[in-house]
Amino acid sequence: MEPSSEFHGRIDRFLMELRASLQGVNIEDYQAFREALEDARRVAVFGIGRCGEILRTFASGLTRSGRRVDVMFTPSAQSLDDQDLLLLASTSGKHAALAALAEEAGREGVSLAVITATALSPLSRLANVRIVLPPLLLEGEVSPAEMLRPLGLRFEQALLLVLDALALDLEEKGRLG
């Protein structure tokens, strides 16, 4: 196989996997999530690892569109209150530090928005609004236990696309509203 056809074949496979996962997103959940972002006085984001990097990129984009956004645990981040929304992303939804942050935010009356691959995770259960990005396996693939890292990468790629869609929706609403 030629290098260029091998490359394009891989890209086609990645896109097929992403499409399969994104088609599993519940549209009502997406709309509720978008409305929570619209209604929040301020949005604060936090994630660990690559999810955190993706959320920081999303925050930067929202800031450029005129929205008030903070990245948690940075020098410029402000305290949250009941008019704010905390946005967390986690593939498993089980990270103890994120769960502790979510619980504290809930005690302070802060709304919680979560994007995860696991609908019944602790973070998902704490969320006021959530988007679940199902880690679909395609026919002929190995089990999720054998593909933990690739499923995480799929989640992160899908996360980036969902956040891009949300940012565009919010930007368009700002222009129309």
- List pLDDT tens digits, range 18-69: 888 899 999 999 999 999 999 999 999 999 999 999 999 999 888 877 888 8
Domain span including residue 37: 3-176
Specify whether the CB–CB gap between 120 and 134 falls below 8 A: no
**Nearest alpha-carbon partner for 133 in 150, 152, 149:** 152
Say what the pLDDT of residue 152 is: 74
Say what the pLDDT of residue 59 is: 93
Mean pLDDT of 166-175: 84
* Count of CB atoms situated within 10 Å of the CB of 20: 16
Say what the pLDDT of residue 148 is: 39
Q: Read off the CATH number of the domain in which 117 is found.
A: 3.40.50.10490
* Token pair of 151 as six digits: 């499923």
Say what the pLDDT of residue 88 is: 97
User: Comparing 163 with 173, which gets the higher pLDDT?
Assistant: 163
Mean pLDDT (the chain) is 86
Phi and psi (nearest 5°) for 109? 85, 10
- List pLDDT tens digits, range 24-38: 999 999 999 999 999
Q: What is the 3-state secondary structure (H, E, C) of the chain?
A: CCHHHHHHHHHHHHHHHHHHHHCCCCHHHHHHHHHHHHHCCEEEEEECCHHHHHHHHHHHHHHHCCCCEEECCCCCCCCCCCCEEEEEEECCCCCHHHHHHHHHHHHCCCEEEEEECCCCCHHHHHCCEEEECCCCCCCCCCCHHHHHHHHHHHHHHHHHHHHHHHHHHHHHHHHHC
- List pLDDT tens digits, range 127-142: 999 999 987 655 555 5
How many domains does the chain contain in total?
A: 1
Say what the pLDDT of residue 146 is: 47
